[in-house]
Chains A and B, each alone.
Chain A
Amino acid sequence: MTKKMIIHITIISFIMGFMLAVQYNTVQRPEMIESTDIWDIRQKVASERNLHSSLLEEIRVAQQVVQQYETDAVTDAEAILINTVEDLKASVGLNAVTGPGVILTIEPAQELIDFGYELKEIPPALLIRLVNDIYRFNGRYIEIADQRLTNFSAIRDINGKTTVNSIPIGRAGIDIRVIADTQEEAAKLYNYLLASTFFDEFYIDNMQLSVELPTHDVTIQGTERIIDNKYLTVDKGD
């Protein structure tokens, strides 16, 4: 082997070593650096804490019922059962409910209508978003144009008409009634809605959303639909 050859091989092995090292460096690149700050963590803790407190509340209510059963087992068992059934009916949406809440009204934006703009159907997507946001801010029961929203309700477009529970809600003069747990929650919801962009969103569709001040006694009717359940069966017992 000549000296020239050795020098060539040396240069090539130098290049190869360099390539190997660069490849090694690239592969060993550190993963994404954890960059959550204190505030992110606090927010996570806060949401977990909320979940915690709501779970505790549920446990408390359940324990109360158990206690009632235990103390009045003989005398008032039937009354307690009826009570429980009523509670369940209320939460499902079969009963009328009265409580602190907010009433929203959707009306045609008069100045636009006067100018000849056409009033269209309320887009279901917008209504769904409004409902979701109301639930997010602790609205408990909702009624849109006399249609009680339950777990089985659908807001959708049927043949060009916006429907709730498969019933067209019309284009204007629609009331949305919302009941919250407490007056404070109702006030919070009211303030959130005032600060939200929903006014602009409805205005795009030539409609005007207005929110009335929270009141103590908003009444929502129970649903008239028969809630059929396919999956729960009655256990006849022994």
Chain B
Amino acid sequence: MWLPLLGLILGIALGILTDIQIPAVYENYLSIAVLAALDTMFGGIRAQLQNIYDDKVFISGFFFNIALAAGLAFLGVHLGVDLYLAAIFAFGVRLFQNIAVIRRILIEKWEEYKLKKSENLPKAR
């Protein structure tokens, strides 16, 4: 589990230390891409906890969601409709749903663990 975390920290460190900035025009696209990435990541964690994790789905979802979100924002800018709001809404809702599911699964697991522990205790004596 520590390797992905290390990757995240490394990425953040590289980004901050190189001090890369993107033009203000593209700020919208990046923010939406970040949201899409977060959504994919939490989706991946949920899938892993539900034991339905698929590598291909995860990786394709990551890139496809980012491209779709940025594309939608791009289209919205050129059509004069704030389409990026649609992406923000969709990803936002999914993010909350995913986090809620993750929370429930973790609570269930914790309770199972507690139950097991209390069952095991008398035996240990």
Instruction: Name A's B-contacting residues (CB within 8 A).
Output: 1, 4-27, 29
Contacts and interface: CB of A to CB of B under 8 A. Distances in A.
Contacts of A4: 55
Contact of A8 (B20, B33, B55): B55
Given A8-B58, A9-B4, A17 B20 contact: no
Contacts of A26: 21-22, 24, 27, 30
Q: How large is the interface on B (under 10, 10 to 19, 20 to 34, 35 or more residues)?
A: 35 or more
B15 A20 contact: yes
A19 B22 CA distance: 11
Contact of B59 (A12, A16, A20): A12
Given A8-B55, A19-B37, A24 B16 contact: yes
Chain B CB within 10 A, most for which of A11, A21, A25: A21
A17 B9 contact: yes
Contact of B15 (A7, A8, A10, A17): A17
Given A5-B53, A6-B4, 14 more contacts: A4-B55, A8-B59, A10-B7, A14-B11, A15-B37, A17-B7, A17-B12, A19-B33, A21-B11, A21-B16, A22-B20, A22-B30, A23-B30, A29-B21
A26 B30 CA distance: 10
Contacts of B84: none
B34 A23 contact: yes
Contacts, number: 101
Nearest to A3: B3
Interface of B: 3-16, 19-22, 24, 27, 30-31, 33-34, 37-38, 40-41, 44, 48, 53, 55, 58-59, 62
B34 A14 contact: no
A12 B41 contact: yes
Contacts of A17: 7-15
Contacts of B33: 19
Contacts of B59: 8, 12
B12 to A, nearest CB: 4
A14 B58 CA distance: 15
Given A8-B55, A8-B58, A21-B15, A14 B8 contact: yes
A42 B40 CA distance: 57
9 contacts: A5-B55, A8-B59, A9-B7, A12-B37, A13-B5, A17-B13, A18-B11, A24-B15, A26-B30
